[in-house]
A and B are shown apart, each in its own frame.
Chain A
């Protein structure tokens, strides 16, 4: 196995464990609301997810647009399936199905 890959994965995995488990194990009180650290951490999630969504669709619209209609159908299906029950799983699966259906119809 590639040593660089192992180092990268173990670093990221150890940090993920620390992020998820240590606060539960160590923090007995609540973080001071409104502090700089709390605001930074609170903003990291939305910023990361927004970034990843843009990064995942941007290659389809720039520099050469491709499969734009399936992309539009996938986005619409995701939104429409998510809204009724605010289900991430339903939105994800419906989005992929909508994209695949539009891709198949236009092929």
Chain B
């Protein structure tokens, strides 16, 4: 039972992170496999997951590496993809309350991915007291699944899945399913202009130029559409 004064502890956070870990592991596994197919070894693939820890960025990193994009261009492209994370901390701490501790935020906030943020915000909205130890546990469950899944996928390699074409195909769709689920989870009337412009710009950029250009066009066009919205 958690202490009502101190809030739930590290173990409760780990437990709360279990559903996220179950979702992350197969996606990270498929990232490890994809990294191997892109020519990275197991250490390089695991390093990407340890250092970047952002699924979509990592898959894009593979595409940029495969296309031979300069390191600085690739780095800034990946940075632009995660600007939305700027909003997570303030939103979470607003829900946690003005007296919520943040002494160790330099460590636990590294784990504030889309799913961890959503899980934490939901728990606070249901009346749970904010606890840095709980945040550590929640984040570590997700981070461990992500890096462990990557290492296992890179180690097993694409050959491990070639004997199971349906499983291989399902894992290949995992990322699209994650993006679609995330899109539905943040879908609001206010976000529709940004989403619509992003979709059109991505298709147009891809059809008339390249896949990378389509991604950049979609993100920038969608974000600008949000700025112009009254």
Contacts and interface: CB of A to CB of B under 8 A. Distances in A.
Interface stretch (B3-11, B78-86, B150-158): B78-86
A38 B203 CA distance: 26
A68 interface: no
B166 A51 contact: no
Interface in B180-230: 180-187, 190-191, 194-195, 197-199, 201-203, 206-207, 211, 214-215, 218-219, 221-227, 229
Given A7-B72, A20-B112, A51 B88 contact: no
Interface size class of A (residues with CB under 8 A): 35 or more
Contacts of A95: 173-174, 176-177, 180-181
B47 interface: yes
B106 A21 contact: yes
Per DSSP, chain B at the interface is helix
Given A12-B79, A23-B90, A41-B83, A88 B181 contact: yes
A26 to B, nearest CB: 9
B115 A12 contact: no
Given A49-B182, A82-B181, A20 B115 contact: no
Contacts of B171: 96, 100
Interface of A: 1-13, 15-17, 19-25, 27, 30-31, 36, 39-59, 62, 67, 70-71, 74-75, 77-79, 82-83, 86-89, 91-97, 99-101, 103-104, 107
